[in-house]
Structure 1
């Protein structure tokens, strides 16, 4: 298999790079083919959204029976029906984008695993021999599909905003000429989800961080730097010198996890458009009163209705994502944090406010991840949990006074 011209000459990957990458690549290709077939059936997308032929027959019968209804009422009913269909379509697009975001993060993790576990050297003239190349190709494919779905999602959102009189009705035909209220978020999401390292691009990124200065050396006393710090040539400071593979740029893919925040909003809108939320005002569909599309409002309502589910989801997301990021950034140094198990332990004790100090990050990226994910995220999680605990105590006290 090592003869000239064989596949193993161009693909000498380890098992971490070969088997998982090709398995996910086949699954992604199958999903892409399925999506392309569904896209070809846009003329019958109402059936794809779950509207059966029976519902269509009932709608036709209702229109014949209500022939005496005024034209304005018919127009309003058609608008509400169209909004209901568009909300369902946007929900399907969001769910698909959430899956693509999760697949992108998993692909980046597999790419780093392939780089770490591969001990084979490769020739620069054969870039396909680089570890993690199959995962890079999969990340490219996933990103292109995600960008297409973002464009499709904002096209649907533009029509929703036009029907709700939030933008002029004549501006819904071109997304690139839409108002700033819609175009700026669309451009921001394209940038957030479109930044990644393309395939066949390799190299190293070197960092040199000065930690502290040293006193002037004398003949009797020679200053020394503790490990892993290294003394500079001038013997005036201790620096932390390390490097990453250029694939470290793909850590920005973790930003795509913001898509999971829309799952909460979609669950509430399902109840709203399905006429199950009878206590909510119909003005929410018109953009008046309660902002039904607001993620912050959706989070508050979901936390009030299902606090345990929201707290568990928030805790697991912060815990796992922070631990994975810390283990990636601390990989250049042989320490406890170069594996996911100790990184999970460090993140957990930091989020709970214990902080045993048995391990700590030394790189700038690892420290930033701990501060943002474990310290700030842990404070937010503990604050939400404390507020829920106090609300439960108020309920118990009110019940005791009533008894």
Structure 2
């Protein structure tokens, strides 16, 4: 079939292609080699892979953000359950059971989100050729997935309630002791019990008290911080691969956010750790120390521990409370407060422009004081010489001259300096290298010119010798 020819005038005055050329072109496109080339072109396939990769990144981002949100909802529901039980001092109420039902629902949703997250994670690694194409989620991540499901799935389900008596050993009774070990008593009048010559702190936990272990879900905060970061994308991962940097590491995003907006990261984290620690400490300590029913007492103890003040007016008495407070003190006191201190000291540092302004002011004052000292030295020396010629006493002027000389030497050692930045040092080194390169090129040009001159001289001598030889023959 003949190819159709466009009879309309072509733009810019060009004539349409002839039917012969059009038919030849169409025949060339139908050649087996050209058809094979189009069949081997994987551009569309690559574009589809990029689109799928972008979609999986987006899915993993949503799964991680919602996982942390649902985990926090579960922790809040656990705290609400214990609040209801502590307020009524029972191990079960209808309101607490309803809250526990909601906790179980959020836990199921959380487990589902974690599984979906690992499915997207596996798909991403397969498309990036990090995992083999035939690998599966369970084959590659079953250990980590099982551990996460156990951690995030732990909670006290509805219908499970009861009391757990706790006997915490304090010391062994000694009838001959003169230091108070002959009687079983607590300095804060807490309930104690004697069992087989041993003094024990006696208190009772409910089953729901052990729900505080749900705080282990907070490990999801690292993924949440990565997924909510503006640096989270497949393009950032690709750039990091080129530079041998794992941009999907949560610690990378923590450092990036801390360097750009430190207060927006550290201050909410500090308040979160403080008030959550106080809430959990209250749950663990109220059965043994009823005055911790006041939430702000727990907040005060948490602040005193995190800030390393430690007044000692309130202390945890139970082993669980002490362990949790020690862990929170390490996390909040040593890590978070250290970050706050680094932000404070960084805010006190002078900027580059401020350092330059300070240097100019100091340099001007130094020059003025040095000129004043030099003028005083010259004037004193002149007066000293004049008094010596007049035969007068020069002791006072000699001491003044010595003082001016010492001041001049001090100025020579205390000249203000400006610390150069990395860019300025690099510019200085580059200029020095360029000067050395120019000197080498100049030397090379000189040697080339000398060689050229020697060559011309040698050619002239050779021509003269040939002329002499020919003339003599």
Whether the TM-score (by the shorter chain) exceeds 0.5 is yes
Unaligned runs of 5+ in 2: 1-36, 358-473
Bigger relative contact order, structure 1 or 2, given CA contacts below 8 A and separation 6+? 1
Q: How does the TM-score come out when normalised to structure 1?
A: 0.71
1:390 counterpart = 2:352:
no
Query: Residue 232 of structure 1: SS of its match in structure 2?
Result: strand
Shift of 1:73: 4.7
C-alpha root-mean-square deviation of aligned residues, in Å? Answer: 2.9
Contact 2:277 2:328 in 1 (8 A): yes
Contact 2:237 2:247 in 1 (8 A): no
1:282 counterpart = 2:238:
yes
- The size of the alignment, in residue pairs, is 317
Which one has a larger percent helix, Structure 1 or Structure 2? 2
1:260 counterpart = 2:221:
yes
Shift of 1:192: 0.7
**Deviations 1:206-232 (CA, angstroms, capped at 9, x unpaired):** 2111122232359xx953422325242
Contact 1:193 1:256 in 2 (8 A): yes
| Greater radius of gyration (CA) | 2
1:370 counterpart = 2:325:
yes
1:113 counterpart = 2:83:
yes
Task: Describe the shift of the 1:132–1:74 C-alpha distance in structure 2 as closer, same or farther (beyond 3 A).
Answer: same
Contact 1:264 1:302 in 2 (8 A): no
In structure 1, the residue matched to 2:334 is: 379
In structure 2, the residue matched to 1:8 is: none
Contact 2:184 2:194 in 1 (8 A): no
Contact 2:75 2:214 in 1 (8 A): yes
Contact 1:108 1:251 in 2 (8 A): yes
Task: Describe the shift of the 1:281–1:204 C-alpha distance in structure 2 as closer, same or farther (beyond 3 A).
Answer: closer
1:223 aligned to 164, 173, 183, which one? Answer: 183
Contact 1:337 1:359 in 2 (8 A): no
Counterpart-to-counterpart distance in 2, 1:120 and 1:214: 33
Task: Describe the shift of the 1:197–1:224 C-alpha distance in structure 2 as closer, same or farther (beyond 3 A).
Answer: closer
1:208 counterpart = 2:167:
yes
In structure 2, the residue matched to 1:166 is: 130
**Deviations 1:11-55 (CA, angstroms, capped at 9, x unpaired):** xxxxxxxxxxxxxxxxxxxxxxxxxxxxxxxxxxxxxxxxxxxxx
1:299 counterpart = 2:261:
no
**Deviations 1:244-300 (CA, angstroms, capped at 9, x unpaired):** 1111221111111222222220133x445386xxxx67333x587221221112211
Q: How does the TM-score come out when normalised to structure 2?
A: 0.61
Shift of 1:147: 0.8
Shift of 1:74: 4.3
1:156 counterpart = 2:120:
yes
Shift of 1:329: 0.2
Shift of 1:398: 4.1
